[in-house]
Amino acid sequence: MCGIVGYIGKSDAYPILIKGLKCLEYRGYDSAGVALIDKSGDLRIYKSVGKVADLERVSSGKNISGTAGIAHTRWATHGEPTERNAHPHRSSDGKLVMVHNGIIENYLSIKKKLSEEGYSFASDTDTEILVQFIEYIRNDRKLDLLTAVQVALKEVVGAYAIALIDKDNPGEIIVARKSSPLVVGIGEGEFFVASDTAPIVPYTNKVVFLKDGEIGVLSAGSPLKIINLDNVECPADIQNIEINLSEFEKGDYPHFMLKEIFEQPERLKDCMRGRLNLEEHTIRLSSIINHSDKLLNAGRFVIVACGTSWHAGLIGKHLIESFCRIPVEVEYASEFRYRNPVILPNDVVIAISQSGETADTLAAMELAKEKGAFVFGICNVVGSSIARATDSGIYIHVGSEVGVASTKAFTGQVAVLIMFALALAKEKKTIKDEEYTNITRELGLIPEKMYATLALNDSIAELSRMFTYARNFIYLGRGYSYPVALEGALKLKEISYIHAEGYPAAEMKHGPIALIDAEMPVVVIATKSDLYKKILSNIQEIKSRKGRIIAIVTEGDTEISKIADFCIEVPNTIDCLDALITSIPLQLMAYHIAVYRGMDVDQPRNLAKSVTVE
Ligand code: G6P
């Protein structure tokens, strides 16, 4: 995780860096820091524990001049979130200053070597080891800085995105990456660098996504130089990007999370635009058309993902198996990558990731590629590492998601998986025309049904108030609703810090039912489906043990409403589309409970939106 940002040019660096850090706070917010340098080499570093706003307080009234600088917002890995561990870190001779995102796995062996050379350390971080190591190599071997960086990085094991400034050469920033993202923005006589494009787009839409093993030399007024660790110059692949800046503003909403929940109907339309034909009730996905040989002949799909994306993957399994009759496995990317998994010749691996930067998902995908699999991506962030590394894929196109707890990306992922399964099934002729037409017609109605569900917000807020001080929650669902239960529980845990577990409802009897008493709220997704009667029995079982039932039911339900303590009635839809609707009340409940508890909804403790370390 961690966000890095840098600037070199004609303008004052400080406001650009602070604004950039605020865009990157979703990557971590344990501490923040900035280093500013002016043309004479006068260097100043300010750091603070906490958020970027705390850093602004620390630097307020101090000298913040300088037309070059680097800055960092941290998600602690090595070393506690203290000021001494906050970036930027400085080398012993005080000349080199670095910010870093990633993990230097062999930092202890490098540290040992440096200690033997008489180095001492001011922090517990792996980053400080790297900057000291570069200094050591530069001085010991009398090398220029770029060569010293190349030599040092060749010895590094792990992941890094770095930005480095040198007091002796204030007109230059050196940046490099391996397995952690880094984007260079090219302005008029100025450069920007950041972990993603958000800090850059207010100034320029010309960007270069650095590739693994590339080093960028940013000198104001000179063209961008990209060189690899073997000193071979690499062409700069300059891309034009377009981002709607309003996505980074909360507008009238108190939190990004609430804004993103409420955006879902419109974002779903964006996701389906050009893919779902509302007049003909057909789905057209160019990635399926262009790779039909691989996809139609897939012997198995293996979905790799983490967190919320993994929950979407579970729904994907259900959809693809039901409609395409192709077996699907859903794997936690972090487990898959270390298990020497079996990849068969006709396997297709689907990597699902909102950010497209999750380290475990990226590594799982690369492993699958090495083993010969065709790799398909379902990502939100355009141009992200996963999106670029896949053989083909589908963007979910739900716009930037800023709140750490994923909401609109989940429904976007599910919508893409629905379209994928239906389009593939149609090509494979494993779905009846009538069923295909019914589902595609109904899919087109989902945005309106989402609006109707969002209209329940006030009553869900009222209901949530009653559970502000609950200590545990159980979420239950069956079939397509089981992953929704998992996702509902995850939302609550993430932002309210209430312990919550999601279960397939019938599994209750095998353990969790022992937890049920009058103190235990149980959220049950019990909309009309083939499993309705079964879930009704599960609800009876909970009721008999005095559990407090909050049921998500279909409008007009008469049976469950008689038993449940509270009912949230949502619009009726086909059960394979239900998750697009039923996840909304669960998102809203988690949100309101967290707000009543006074939690930091958009930046919950210990979490980061983009997990770029394993
Ligand atoms: C983090 C985020 C989650 C997200 C997960 C996977 O844990 O807080 O919201 O679901 O990473 O991220 P990805 O970007 O790969 O979907």
Q: Whose Cα sits closest to atom 4 in ligand 1?
A: 307
Span 391-441, pLDDT tens digits: 999 999 999 898 889 999 999 999 999 999 999 999 999 999 999 999 999
H or E, element range at 494: helix 481-496
pLDDT in tens, 306-318: 999 999 999 999 9
Identify the residue whose C-alpha is closest to ligand 1 atom 2: 609
**DSSP 8-state assignment for residue 278:** T
Ligand 1: centre distance to CA 558 (Å): 38
Residue ranges around ligand 1 (CB below 6 Å)? 306-309, 353-355, 358, 361, 404, 406, 607, 609-611
Distance 361 CA to ligand 1 centre (A): 10
pTM above 0.85, yes or no: no
Q: Which of 2, 27, 256, 308 to mutate to test the pocket of ligand 1 (most atoms within 8 A of CB)?
A: 308
For residue 200, the SS3 value is coil
Does residue 156 register a pLDDT over 90?
yes
Residue from 385, 395, 406 whose mutation best tests the ligand 1 pocket (most atoms within 8 A of CB): 406
**Which residues, in sequence order, are CB contacts of 339 under 8 Å at separation 6+?**
none
Closest atom of ligand 1 to CA, residue 358: 15
Q: What is the pLDDT of residues 81-108, one digit of tens each?
A: 888 899 999 999 999 999 999 888 899 9
Could you report the per-residue pLDDT of 157-175, keeping only the tens digit for each?
988 999 999 999 999 999 9
Ligand 1 mean position, distance from CA 92 (Å): 37
Rounded to the nearest angstrom, the distance between the alpha carbon of 15 and the centre of ligand 1 is 29
Report phi then psi at 436, rounded to 5.
Answer: -60, -45
User: Considering just the CA atoms, what is the radius of gyration of the chain in Å?
Assistant: 26
CA of 306 to the centre of ligand 1 (A): 6
Higher pLDDT, 19 or 29: 19
- Specify which residues 351 forms β-bridges with: 304, 377
Burial 76-96 (b: 16+ CB within 10 A, else e): bbbbebeebbbbbbbbbeebb
Say how far residue 335 (Cα) sits from the centre of its chain: 18
The per-residue pLDDT for 1 is 67
Instruction: Tell me the average pLDDT across 452-472.
Output: 96
Active site residue 576: no
Nearest CA to 73 out of 198, 195, 251 is that of 195
Q: Concatenated DSSP letters for 405-465?
A: S-SHHHHHHHHHHHHHHHHHHHHHT-S-HHHHHHHHHHHHHHHHHHHHHHTTHHHHHHHHH
Q: Which residue of the set 51, 259, 408, 609 is catalytic?
A: 609
* Residue 93 falls in which region: left (phi positive, over 0), alpha (psi -120 to 50) or beta: alpha
- CA 100, CA 127: separation in Å to the nearest integer? 6
The pLDDT tens digits of the residues spanning 263-308 come to 999 999 999 999 999 899 999 999 988 998 999 999 999 999 999 9
Please state, rounded to an integer, the average pLDDT across all residues of the chain.
Answer: 93
Residues 6+ apart with CB under 8 A from 21: 3, 5, 32, 34, 52, 55, 71, 72, 73, 199
Distance CA 590, CA 112 (A): 47
pLDDT of 513 strictly over 90: no
DSSP-based three-state secondary structure for 507: helix
| pLDDT at residue 181 greater than cutoff 70 | yes
> Model confidence at 260, in pLDDT bands (50, 70, 90)?
very high
Q: Which atom of ligand 1 is nearest to the CA of 406?
A: 9
Residue having the nearest C-alpha atom to atom 5 of ligand 1: 307
Tell me, yes or no, if 609 is annotated catalytic.
yes
pLDDT higher than threshold 90 for residue 27: no
Specify the residue with its C-alpha closest to ligand 1, atom 1.
Answer: 609
Gap from CA of 248 to ligand 1 centroid (Å): 18
